[in-house]
Structure 1
Amino acid sequence: MYLLTDEIAFPPIEETSPEGILAFGGDLKPERLLLAYKNGIFPWYSHDEPIIWWSPDPRMILFPEDLKVSKSMKQLLRRETFKVTYNTAFERVIQACAIIQRPGQDDTWITTEMEEAYIQLHKMGYATSVEVWRDEKLVGGVYGIDLGHVFCGESMFSLESNASKYGFIHLVEKLKTTGCQLIDCQMHTNHLASLGAYEVPREVFLSYL
């Protein structure tokens, strides 16, 4: 397995393990993170582990035009059940994503180091947040890396039923108008599959990227 040095570089994708691990170590400097995302690589690790860099095969993706919106979600959208904003509370969104309890997950992969790194990317204009509000309360959100033609989704949270899905749908509809051609969902979840995302071979994803 490849151990990164201070050099801002990654090994060839072909060296990725069957589990999807490409390398260990390095740091979360903005330059390294942006290089990673531009090459289909992302960090994912727990607080007691070194930084682990992934490029899974297959890869979960969503073309904006393939977004599926259920009848019940369409009703919520028509009623404007929630208010949606962008980039008004990035730090609160990433912190909420870090602490929310998820089924089958005992620990968070969004470490303090990760929070600080993505907040820095947000200040640089690369990391985007979507906030979902009920009155004045933040009840859901999504954040990710915006490469222009590709949006790399990182995490979402929901304190009310359908809040994160509501925000994600708003995000996809907005991305349709900005020239975004693909949403990188990284790994399969039933939640994302219900919205129209599906898996493709890594080489196909990289050709899109």
Structure 2
Amino acid sequence: MPIPPPPTNWDFALDQVAPGDDLIGVGADLDVSTLYAAYTQGVFPMGIGEHGAPPIGWWSPDPRGVLRLDDLRVPRSLRKSMRHLEVRVDTAFEAVVAACADPDRDGRWITPEVAHAYAALHEAGWAHSVETWQDDRLVGGLYGVAIGGLFAGESMFHTVRDASKAALVALRDLLAADGDPRRLIDVQWRTDHLATLGVSEMTREDYLRGLPEVLSAPLPALWA
């Protein structure tokens, strides 16, 4: 069982943030204690410079993109693709982050500083990767932060068809294994692509209201 880090010196209170404002602050640091505190309060970091460059911005989207475990849509074509993929968990965390940070990707935002911070969070037991492999080659995956019943997804990638979607299905199955209904996958923002998989939106107010119950669920056995 990972041990919660010491309290952070930074304040992520959202009571003064106007509805509809996604960016709630700038600055702070990316220490394990800071990241842990942020996620437990519905906040996550992303640089506001070009391609995620500093300064670090702290975000709490309104509305928030979420995936309830029962809402994930798995079409027949995806199930067929999954037969040719092997799923592994936490065997190549830094490689997944590096693939997500590929400088050739459109919209890239993961900087070396961010990659280093999440590697430290992984070492502390709070960040995890779900990977898809083909012929012993990493071809897709995702990574994020798991605290209680919350999995806060950060990024995903694929180099073969459906490899990232297969990782998402595997994540859902991992979280749903014990049938705890409190668990939730946070995807930050809903996109048209994610909507086809079952992602929906909720207001920040509703997300924050329900977050304590989500966090009160135990970590999945694999990560506990």
Using the TM superposition, name which of 125-134 and 170-179 deviates more.
Answer: 170-179
1:196 aligned partner, one-letter code: G
SS in 1 for 2:16: helix
CA-based RMSD of the aligned residues comes to 1.7
Give, in whole Å, the separation in 2 of the partners of 1:13 and 1:59.
17
Aligned counterpart for 1:39 among listed residues 29, 38, 41? 41
TM-score computed with the length of structure 2 as normaliser: 0.83
1:74 aligns with 2:79: yes
TM-score computed with the length of structure 1 as normaliser: 0.89
Q: Alpha-carbon deviation of 1:56?
A: 1.0
**Contact 1:59–1:199 (8 Å) recurs in 2:** yes
Percent of aligned pairs sharing the same letter: 41
1:140 aligns with 2:129: no
Q: Alpha-carbon deviation of 1:12?
A: 2.6
Corresponding residue number in structure 1 for 2:190: 188
Listed one character per residue, the Cα deviations across residues 97-122 of structure 1 (whole Å, up to 9, x for unaligned) are 0006444x2xx211111001100010
Equivalent positions of 1:1-209 (< 5 A) are 7-16=9-18, 18-45=20-47, 46=49, 47-77=52-82, 80-99=83-102, 101-103=104-106, 105=107, 108-178=108-178, 179=180, 181-209=183-211
Q: Alpha-carbon deviation of 1:70?
A: 0.9
Unaligned runs of 5+ in 2: 1-7, 212-224
Unaligned runs of 5+ in 1: 1-5
**Contact 2:12–2:41 (8 Å) recurs in 1:** no
Q: Alpha-carbon deviation of 1:19?
A: 3.8
Matched positions, count: 199
Using the TM superposition, name which of 175-184 and 28-37 deviates more.
Answer: 175-184
Give, in whole Å, the separation in 2 of the partners of 1:18 and 1:73.
35
SS in 2 for 1:9: coil
Give, in whole Å, the separation in 2 of the partners of 1:96 and 1:194.
23
